[in-house]
A = this chain, B = another copy of it.
Amino acid sequence: MKNKKLLNYSDYLQLNKLLESQSLMSDKNGQKAHDEMLFIIIHQTYELWFKQIIHELDLVGHLFSQKTIDESKVSNAVLKLNRIIEIQKILIDQIRVLETMTAMDFLEFRDYLFPSSGFQSSQFRIIENRLGLHQRDRLSYMNKNYKDAIKDDEKDLVNTSESVKSIFDLLERWLERTPFLSFEGFDFWEKYSESVTTLLKEEENLIRNRPNQSGEELEFNLKSHKNTVSSFQAFLSSEKHEELINKGEKRLSHKATKAALLIFLYRDEPILHSPFNLLSKLMDIDELFTNWRQRHATMVHRMIGGKIGTGGSSGHKYLRSAAQKHKIFSDLSDLSTFFIKRSALPKLPKNIKNSLGYYHQS
């Protein structure tokens, strides 16, 4: 009877199931390939981490679906997004483990895997959908919908992940509701536009008066300044922004974009710390998935060269295109184009500043 009810490490982690879930196809085919174990185990750790990422995204989605989103919810979301980031770094670093398997070793069991493929990972698709990957940004898979690759009994979950509000959607709504854009008589956008106009004028003067430049250089610099002016004009105009959205070149609404810019520009204000961290972490997550796809593509290139993937994809080229296209929060990264120097920032009126900050102690 002893220890009957006491929790044991092995039972807690369900190691009996976990450590008996590796069944080598090469073994079943009578040609046991030592390295297939690594192939299975590394993919299993990937899937465990995906489960954890979804667990965190669920919480973040929940926090941002509330009616009132106070500071403490934002900062809790930041902590969870940061956990996703640390997991992503592991996902990337793990590629080095897989790279200890050479192309020749992979060939020993590769044929037995047909036609299974990483494209069939429903958890990864759920992550993409929960974050907010736009369906138009998906690459096609043998001219079919990406969901055709998903096992039937997993399709429901993938469908659900398409239909719930994504982190992108929730972020956009939250940004649009920010109270700071027009706050006790301070109109951020108006002030910002004025500052930009002044700055661009100054910059043009600077270019015209640069010493020692050739005519060619002057022309080059003026032309690039003109481009800057046009891009600011487009940025300031909600109509132009709408056009870009319709063309698929932008995605985040103009109102949300303005709020995001405000957060970036006044990130030194205490009340904007957590919002700033939120935007930063989302950009980090985007970049790390891009980075992961690129590293993955490079590894696949070296492993199978120009061969097609076990699932029929064009191998490393597919992955490299995905790395380019599958970005979700690039509207945020693009914003730094429109940052202006602190010294040129519209000053916040005292009453806002006071209501934003607080003194911790004196």
Contacts and interface: CB of A to CB of B under 8 A. Distances in A.
B3 A212 contact: yes
Q: How many copies does the complex hold?
A: 4
Interface in A136-161: 142, 151, 154
B339 A305 contact: yes
A89 B304 CA distance: 24
Contacts of A228: 307
A41 B48 contact: yes
A274 B360 contact: yes
A255 to B, nearest CB: 13
A312 interface: yes
Contact of A18 (B48, B107, B264, B271): B48
A52 B47 contact: no
A72 B269 contact: yes
A106 to B, nearest CB: 9
A90 B117 CA distance: 24
A341 B337 CA distance: 46
Contacts of A295: 291
Nearest to A287: B298
A123 to B, nearest CB: 8
Interface string A1-42: 111111111111111011101110100000000100110110
9 contacts: A5-B211, A22-B51, A37-B52, A41-B49, A69-B362, A287-B298, A291-B294, A304-B337, A305-B334
